[in-house]
Amino acid sequence: MNYLPLRRNSLLRELKKESLEVALVTNPTNVTYLSGFHGDSSYLVLSPKHAILVTDDRFAQQAAEECPDLEVHIRPHNETTPKAAGDVLGKVGAKSVAVEADHVTLSLLESLKESAPKCVFAPTRGKIEALRAVKDASEVEAIRAAIKVAERAYVMFKTTLRESDTEKDLAAAMEAAVRRAGGDGTPFPPILAVGERGALPHAPPTMKTLGEASKLLVDWGAVLNGYRSDLTRTFRSPFEVAPMRRNKAERVGYDFEEIYRVVLKAQEAAIATVREGVPGKEVDAAARKVIADAGYGQYFTHGLGHGIGLDTHELPRVRENSTCTLETGNVITIEPGIYIPGWGGVRIEDDLLVRRDGALVLSTLPKDGSATV
């Protein structure tokens, strides 16, 4: 089934509520969502009678292959995209045009006004992003495929671990594994935090070696055909580390197994809360309560999760201050963590599909904290 016309019609219905009939879509991710086109430097003009991709000759063949149901306007190489978009808006007789306020700069708006002087440009916010939050069947399958790639990469990655590997080595190895597993790349630089560096939720890679510590936090994902996955596992180092050597770097007084059990219990409590109609902040609260009751509340320092799809972070938000309510078709992450300065951190993250009666966990990797595959 081709869902692209349905997405475009949904947007037009939303715009009609504000007496807007024409949309100029400039955010590349939103252009992809509505057209299926994965190139850059291109806009989409959408009206009840037209869906026109404004691009240039570099992408002529790609546009023909990826979106054969669209009209395509190829601008000459000596003409800007805003100028070409203005010509197309004139062609479709646009008068009042919806633009994406969060993505149109003042400079771009001035260029559009010059190229389409008969148009009034009306700023809109979050309309396409709200549509993207609820995935159709094709998107769910695309995310599942990206998860499978990430999971294959993880299994390969764990078989190659060496005591001498630095965090930078590990990050490079994970990126390579994702590509070997069939992915187009990673959605963000993989986070490989050794030992006490796991206390940094987004630890940048350093020259610290795996053999210097007792645990490893791995946060990674895969991109496949534009869609993304996002997973985290934390596990004991597969190498024996002398206590004197380990304790010099990692603060003592905290038990890995205990903290791991608390984080896993928090994730399970949150997942049990997920279903249609539940506010995102309630899901966050379910995990946060488990961690607070165990005495680690001050060490859970970020939101519980987020939507995922064409972007790594998109609606809905699952955090303390979220105003989002979960809907059937949302795909979200659930990723509680405990981060203790000087000791390290534990985070467990999975990708879930929200359904009417509960959550379907899409990721399948074991969560036992073991270094074994």
Hey, what amino acid is at 117?
A: P
pLDDT 10s digits, 170-197? 999 999 999 999 999 999 999 999 999 9
Task: Indicate the length of the chain as a whole number.
Answer: 373
DSSP string, 37-88: ---SS-EEEE-SS-EEEEEEGGGHHHHHHH-TTSEEEEE-TTS-HHHHHHHH
Distance CA 343, CA 251 (A): 4
Q: How confident is the model at residue 258 (pLDDT cuts 50, 70, 90)?
A: very high
pLDDT at 369: 82
pLDDT at 240: 63
DSSP type of residue 203: P
- Tokens at residue 309, please? 């799809």
Q: How confident is the model at residue 128 (pLDDT cuts 50, 70, 90)?
A: very high
Contact between 224 and 183 under an 8 Å Cβ cutoff? The reply is yes
Block residue for tokens 């149109």: 104
Contact between 26 and 89 under an 8 Å Cβ cutoff? The reply is no
Quote the distance between the C-alpha of residue 294 and its chain's center: 30
Q: Could you tell me the residue ranges of all domains in the chain?
A: 4-132, 137-361
pLDDT at 249: 61
DSSP string, 91-138: HTT-SEEEEETTT--HHHHHHHHHH-TT-EEEEE-SHHHHHHTS--HH
pLDDT at 253: 78
Range 137-361 classified under CATH 3.90.230.10:
yes
Q: Which fold has domain 4-132?
A: Creatine Amidinohydrolase; Chain A, domain 1 (3.40.350)
Contact between 234 and 348 under an 8 Å Cβ cutoff? The reply is yes
- Tokens at residue 355, please? 């359904």
pLDDT at 372: 66
185/244: higher pLDDT:
185
DSSP type of residue 242: -
pLDDT 10s digits, 89-118? 999 999 999 999 999 999 999 999 999 999
Distance CA 165, CA 171 (A): 10
Contacting residues for 240 by C-beta, under 8 A, at least 6 apart: none
Average pLDDT over residues 10-31: 96
Distance CA 371, CA 235 (A): 6
Contact between 304 and 319 under an 8 Å Cβ cutoff? The reply is yes
Distance CA 15, CA 29 (A): 19
Half-sphere CA count of 357, side-chain side, radius 13 A: 0
The pLDDT of residue 25 is above 60 = yes
